[in-house]
Chain A
C-alpha cells in the first residue's frame, strides 16, 4: 500500500529520517531534471538538488500541506538556482563549463541532442514552465504557484515556450 507524501512528511516531523529518504527517492529525478535543464551542468544540478532537499528537510516545519511536496522542493530548487546564478563569477564559470562537451548520457541520441539544444536556447523564463508542463506534468495552477506568477502568465509562458521550442527544433 502506497504511503502518501503527506504521511511521510508527518513521519519526518516525528523524527523518522528514513521517511525523508523515501520522499527524496520519489522526487529527486523531477528536481534534478529541472535543475539540469536550468544549469546545463550535471554536477551543479546534483549539488542544487541536494541543497534543495536539505533545505526542505530543515524547513519541514514550515511546509504547507496544501502544496504538493514535490512542487515545494522544486520551488526551493528553482529559487536556489536563481540565487546562485545571481553571482556573476559562478554564472561565468557555469557558462564556461557549458561550453565543454555535454556530459549527459542521453546526448548520444541525435534526436535527444536536438531537443536539448532547442531547450537550452530558450530563455529561462520560458524553459522552466515548458519543462514543468511537459516533462513534469504540472498544471498551469501548479506552475503559477511554483514560479510566483499568475495562472494566465503561466499559460502565456508555456504557449510562447512551445512556439519558440518548435521554431528552434524545426528551423
Chain B
C-alpha cells in the first residue's frame, strides 16, 4: 500500500488535466438552437439503426415471399392411358377430391392414347382413370401403387419442383 498523502495525487495529476476544445460550447449551443428533438427517432448519427431495421424487414419479406412462391409453384404433370376402344377417359384423384367429371383426357390419338396435362403444386397424389364413366383403371405406367381398401389400386404420383419423381 502506498504512503503518499492525498495532496500528492492532486499535485501529480493536476498537470495532466485537459481542457475542452475552445469552440465546443459554441458548437453545442448551435446544435441546440438548430437541431430539433428527435423524440422516438434515433439521432442522425445513429442513422444506421432505422436503415438496418428497414433492410432486415425487406430481407425477411423477400425471403418469405420466395419461400411462399416456391411452395406454391405449379408443375405440369402429364397423364396418359392407352385405351383405344374407350369413348371417354377421366382423371380422378386426390388433386380433384375424387370428383369425376372435372378432368377429361383428350383422345384417343391415332395410336389409341388418351392424354392430359395438369398443373399441380408439389405433393403426393393418388389417382385412377375412369373409363367410360364406369371402369376404374390403375395407371399401368405407375411405379408406386396402393390398394384403396375398396377393391381398387390407386396409382401414386410424387410431384416436386423438378418434375414428377415417381
Contact = CB atoms under 8 A, between A and B. Distances in A.
B2 A50 contact: no
Nearest to A58: B37
A71 interface: no
Interface centre among A28, A104, A131, A137 (most CB of B within 10 A): A28
Contacts of B16: 106, 112, 115-116, 119, 135
B27 A50 contact: yes
Interface residues of A, number: 40
A112 B15 contact: yes
B2 A162 contact: yes
Contact of B20 (A32, A54, A166): A32
Interface residues of B, number: 25
A109 interface: yes
Contacts of A21: 25, 29
Contacts of B9: 130, 133-134, 162, 165
A154 to B, nearest CB: 15
A49 B24 contact: yes
B113 to A, nearest CB: 68
Nearest to A50: B28
Contact of B17 (A20, A46, A49, A135): A135
B119 interface: no
Contacts of B31: 50, 54
A134 B37 CA distance: 36
Contacts of B13: 115, 119, 130-131, 134-135
Interface string B1-44: 11010100110111111111100110111011100010000000
A32 B32 contact: no
A69 interface: no
Contacts of B29: 17, 20-21, 24
Contact of A20 (B18, B19, B27, B32): B32
Contacts of B10: 134, 137
A33 B24 CA distance: 13
Interface of A: 17, 20-21, 24-25, 28-29, 31-33, 36, 42, 46, 49-50, 53-54, 57-58, 104, 106, 109, 111-112, 115-116, 119, 130-131, 133-135, 137, 159, 162-163, 165-167, 169
